[in-house]
A = this chain, B = another copy of it.
Amino acid sequence: MSKSDEVPDKGSNADEAYEAIVQRLRLGKIGRGDRIVDTVIAAELNMSRMPAREALLRLVNEGYLVGSTRGFRLPELTQADVLEIFEIRKILEPRAAALAAVALTPDQLEQLESAFFEARAGFETGNAQMMFDANVRFRNAWLNAVPNRRLVAMIERFFDQVNAVRIATLHDAESRQLSIAIGETLLAGFRRGDSLYVFEQMYSFVEAARAKFVALNSSGATKKARAVK
């Protein structure tokens, strides 16, 4: 009744399973229609069913997954669902970014600069993966600067939920260009510590992402969000 002795324990088996599944979700390794079964996760992670089940239930509670009688899967987000999430992002992210603008340390600003330049380099050389990774670091850098950690947790959760079912947009050239443009304006605001400017730019960015989503899904309000993969 022992698990692997390879690495010292950082948490329980359930925590380990949770982190492993969240990582797969964030990397887009779980597709729409995939079925996640707790016995399979347990076997893969060399643990019993119960901690794997506990992790899956936590992900259900957080909105990443839905349960069924035949395994767990990604939620089917309708267009209305995604619009609702965008509405929440418009409420939360401008405010968080404004708080970050005030609270940023020089070190955090340096990380933002570095991440942005790398994203731009990826954009200019057509390296989508490099750009994607740099964008994640850019986002993490300003989120790390927000003092209100509960606010950050909410933002990350809703962002992750949408991302789990929609990763393809970054590979659209227009979206990439938009991403670079808004990164540049946000960075300027963060440099100046200009809360109001950052607020407005982030609001515009989320609104532009929302409008783009609507344009891509113009064929019906109840249509399921386009699957990734």
Q: Which residues of A contact B (CB under 8 A)?
A: 50, 54, 57-58, 61-63, 84-85, 87-88, 91-92, 95, 147-151, 154, 158
Contacts and interface: CB of A to CB of B under 8 A. Distances in A.
Contacts of A63: 150
Interface centre among A54, A58, A149, A154 (most CB of B within 10 A): A154
B84 A149 contact: yes
B91 A151 contact: yes
A150 B84 contact: yes
A222 to B, nearest CB: 15
8 contacts: A50-B50, A58-B58, A58-B61, A63-B150, A84-B147, A88-B148, A91-B91, A91-B95
A57 B60 CA distance: 12
A164 to B, nearest CB: 15
Given A92-B91, A154-B154, A148 B61 contact: no
Nearest to A80: B147
A148 B83 CA distance: 9
Nearest to A149: B84
Contact of A87 (B50, B54, B85, B151): B151
Nearest to A50: B50
Nearest to A53: B54
Contacts of A158: 150
A144 to B, nearest CB: 16
A85 B149 CA distance: 10
A58 to B, nearest CB: 5
A88 B151 CA distance: 7
Nearest to A94: B91
Contact of A148 (B50, B62, B87, B149): B87
B57 A150 contact: no
A153 to B, nearest CB: 9
Nearest to A84: B148
A150 B61 contact: no
A154 B150 CA distance: 11
